[in-house]
Structure 1
Amino acid sequence: MSIITKSGDDGKTSLYSGERVYKDDLRVEAYGTLDELNAWIGECRNHLANPVDKENLLEIQKNLFRCMGQLATKKGTFAKAITQKDVDNITELVYSLEKNLHLKGFIIPGGNPVSAKLDICRTVARRAERKIIALSRKENIAPELLSYVNRLSDFLFVLARKEENKT
């Protein structure tokens, strides 16, 4: 079976919940940006030495698939939606990493190759958040999803700083 369906040749795609929308629909833009972020996080994971950090990023990648599924579901509810527990877990990761950092002032990205990649992830996460917020002004988006994506950019920021402190 081929991945070519030709069903998108007219500029439309199917949402998880079955509706056909244009590929530049805000909803598609939002989950497409999360897909881009997921790919960048996969790149970062390959450059991290710490197995706990690698595992945390893998868990985040799995959660991003849940976020994308949730955003691609217009009718009904997505069974594996992001929960407050997911938000609490990533919040705790940020707090845990912050304990060992002494942040003051602005940070110029690119302290080392790994932190530079993590900063790219952070900026893509922020872009995804902006797209999700734009969508939320037109349609109902779960507040937990918004919080998770917001917290994710914080996590990527502190993980990048941790990587810079190693050099």
Structure 2
Amino acid sequence: MKIYTRSGDDGTTQIIGGKRVKKYDLQVEVYGTFDELTSYIGLVATYCKPPVQVFLKEIQQKLFYIMAWTAGSCKDNPLPVATDIEKIESAIDDLEEEYDLAYNGLILPGGTRAAAHTHVARTICRRAERLLARLLDEREFSSISSPHTPVYLNRLSDYLYTLAQTLQQEK
């Protein structure tokens, strides 16, 4: 099988279920943003030590499930639950304690490459969060409800913010 099909050359793409939609369709934009976020978190992981790398890989897997769900695949996708959110909160608490961090408002993104890339991941996460909120508001989207998914994304952006601060300190 070849990677190219030529079926999208007309500006459309096929979503799960066989329906063809414009490539700028909101649903495609949402799962495309999750794909971008997952890829960028993979880049961030290359700057991190093994315990954080492992955690970021778990996050990537959860984001893959969310991406599949937003693409229309609801089969056996373990979407975020309360314990996933608690795990991120615990990771934030651990980083804040280990690096003696205190939230003092927003900081200017940048510093080290690792911190700068992590801030980009954070902003992609925020965009994914906004797009998902819009998708859920505007469409009869799925028979499967995931009330924890928006909270998971909100907490993930907090984690990425905290991780960026720690990577800045590791110059």
Same fold (TM over 0.5): yes
- Aligned pairs for 1:57-136 (under 5 A) are 57-73=56-72, 77-84=74-81, 85-99=83-97, 100-136=100-136
- Is the Cα contact below 8 Å between 2:80 and 2:146 reproduced in 1? no
Unmatched tracts of structure 1, length 5 or more: none
Q: Percent identity?
A: 38
Q: Secondary structure at the match of 1:137?
A: helix
1:105 is displaced (CA, Å) by 3.0
Provide the residue aligned with 2:24 in structure 1: 24
1:28 is displaced (CA, Å) by 0.8
Provide the residue aligned with 2:47 in structure 1: 47
CA RMSD of aligned residues (A): 1.8
Whichever residue aligns with residue 73 of structure 1, its letter is: G
1:63 is displaced (CA, Å) by 1.2
Q: Secondary structure at the match of 2:21?
A: strand
Unmatched tracts of structure 2, length 5 or more: none
Does 1:165 pair with 2:156?
no
Task: Decide which moves more: 82-91 or 62-71.
Answer: 82-91
How many residues are paired up?
Answer: 164
- Is the Cα contact below 8 Å between 2:126 and 2:154 reproduced in 1? yes
Whichever residue aligns with residue 95 of structure 1, its letter is: D
- Is the Cα contact below 8 Å between 1:15 and 1:73 reproduced in 2? yes
- Is the Cα contact below 8 Å between 2:31 and 2:67 reproduced in 1? yes
Whichever residue aligns with residue 75 of structure 2, its letter is: F
1:106 is displaced (CA, Å) by 2.6
Does 1:5 pair with 2:5?
yes
CA distance in 2, matches of 1:130, 1:58: 23
Whichever residue aligns with residue 69 of structure 1, its letter is: A
Task: Decide which moves more: 55-64 or 94-103.
Answer: 94-103
Task: Decide which moves more: 103-112 or 54-63.
Answer: 103-112
Q: Secondary structure at the match of 1:78?
A: coil
